[in-house]
């Protein structure tokens, strides 16, 4: 692939090339090697989101519902006034800083990914999202061009651990909490759970661990074991203390031989797949919140959005809902385990297509699947899952 194409690719990906695609042990094993000064998470500037502030989570999450007949309806967003559970989020690879690790200043890319992947969870929980010194897109580009930069892969993990420790000591106060990540953020989060949550007293406060666009390993055919020793995969609506993991591919374009997601890391192991739309298994309708086209998924180089209706209808909200258009089911082929996304085409004025593939030079990179919109595809389902988990948790008097 020519260098311009590589630069284009890394400019649009929520990349899983680093911690999310590498063996998770690398973050924890190298943690002691980092010599960078620690962040002070008592400083509000080290957080993208905290409850009760006008920050990255206090954004417009309104959506336009587009029906099959082309009619539309506004769905205004409203954050919960006093949610009784919390959400702690670790964002994916988005930093364009010129250094191997990002700084602690939020750029437009960090703000945008919060809007796409996390701010809507404020409808069910108090939002916490720390800044962290992640491996940057710059470092990933250099690696892909054969000129690797010396990134400190332990630094981001240490930052997230420090933020988690601060949250537990000063904010949690015994509340239930959902852990949410995507791509590199999921890789860091899986490490955090393995070493700081799994089998520890705080585990009883975990509603769920949501790790999208990453590789969570379980024994083949089993729902517990592997990366997490005592945290099972979620199997029932309202179940708490469990994990949801998935990587999305079109049903018409399953993981190829060079897939970046859904791989096994060793004999008798497989990548976990939990369908947010049908936790017990089988197919379920997705309640997606897709980028409307008024703003990009991550950057303007992503696959361009198509009109939502014929003739085109002006959409002024940042998100669009397409009831009944999409469904999902966990599937497996010879290359990996994945969340298979089907389009339920119907005759009408609404589109029967969605954007979200990684496109370079006019060609779809099938090894990435629908990684760019993993969270958008299942956002409504995940929020419903968390709401049911909170009801169970609080109903048990916790």
pLDDT at residue 306 in the model: 77
SS3 345: coil
pLDDT at residue 33 in the model: 58
Q: What is the mean pLDDT of each run of 10 residues along the chain (398 residues)?
A: 36 39 42 77 98 97 98 97 97 96 96 97 98 95 89 96 98 98 98 98 98 96 95 98 98 97 93 98 98 62 72 95 98 97 96 91 93 97 98 90
pLDDT at residue 305 in the model: 64
Nearest to 172 by CA among 210, 213, 131, 126: 126
Nearest to 68 by CA among 345, 379, 380, 376: 345
Strand segments, DSSP code E, in the chain are 47-49, 63-66, 72-75, 86-90, 126-130, 177-182, 206-212, 217-219, 242-246, 248-250, 269-271, 284-285, 290-291, 319-321, 326-333, 336-343, 359-360, 363-364
pLDDT at residue 361 in the model: 83
């Amino acid at each position: 692939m020519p260098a311009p194409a590589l630069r284009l690719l890394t400019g649009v990906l929520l990349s899983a090339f680093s911690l999310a695609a590498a063996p998770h042990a690398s973050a924890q094993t190298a943690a002691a090697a980092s010599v960078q000064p620690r962040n002070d998470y008592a400083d509000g500037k080290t957080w993208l989101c905290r409850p009760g502030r006008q920050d990255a989570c206090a954004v417009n999450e309104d959506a336009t519902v587009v029906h099959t007949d082309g009619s539309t309806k506004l769905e205004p967003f409203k954050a919960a006034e006093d949610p009784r559970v919390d959400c702690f989020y670790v964002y994916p690879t988005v930093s364009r800083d010129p250094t191997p690790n990002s700084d602690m200043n939020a750029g437009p890319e960090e703000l945008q990914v919060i809007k796409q992947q996390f701010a809507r969870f404020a409808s069910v929980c108090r939002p916490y999202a720390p800044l962290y010194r992640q491996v940057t897109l710059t470092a990933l580009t250099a690696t892909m061009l054969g000129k690797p930069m010396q990134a400190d892969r332990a630094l981001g993990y240490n930052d997230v651990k420090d933020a988690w420790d601060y949250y537990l000591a000063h904010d949690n106060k015994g509340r239930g909490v959902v852990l949410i990540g995507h791509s590199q953020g999921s890789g860091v989060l899986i490490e955090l759970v393995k070493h700081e949550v799994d089998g520890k007293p705080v585990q009883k406060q975990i509603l769920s661990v949501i790790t999208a666009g990453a590789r969570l390993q379980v024994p083949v055919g089993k729902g517990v074991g592997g990366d997490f020793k005592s945290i099972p995969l979620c199997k029932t609506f309202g179940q708490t203390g469990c994990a949801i993991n998935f990587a999305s591919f079109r049903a018409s374009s399953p993981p190829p031989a060079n897939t970046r997601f859904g791989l096994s890391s060793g004999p008798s192991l497989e990548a976990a797949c939990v369908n947010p739309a049908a936790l017990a298994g089988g197919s379920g309708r997705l309640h997606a919140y897709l980028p409307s086209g008024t703003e990009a998924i991550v950057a303007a180089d992503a696959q361009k959005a198509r009109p939502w209706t014929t003739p085109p209808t002006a959409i002024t909200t940042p998100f669009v809902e397409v009831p009944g258009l999409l469904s999902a089911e966990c599937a497996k082929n010879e290359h990996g385990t994945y969340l298979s996304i089907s389009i339920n085409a119907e005759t009408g004025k609404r589109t029967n297509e969605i954007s979200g593939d990684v496109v370079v030079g006019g060609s779809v990179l099938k090894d990435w699947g629908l990684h760019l919109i993993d969270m958008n595809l299942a956002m409504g389902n995940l929020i419903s899952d968390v709401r049911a988990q909170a009801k169970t948790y609080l109903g048990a008097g916790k």
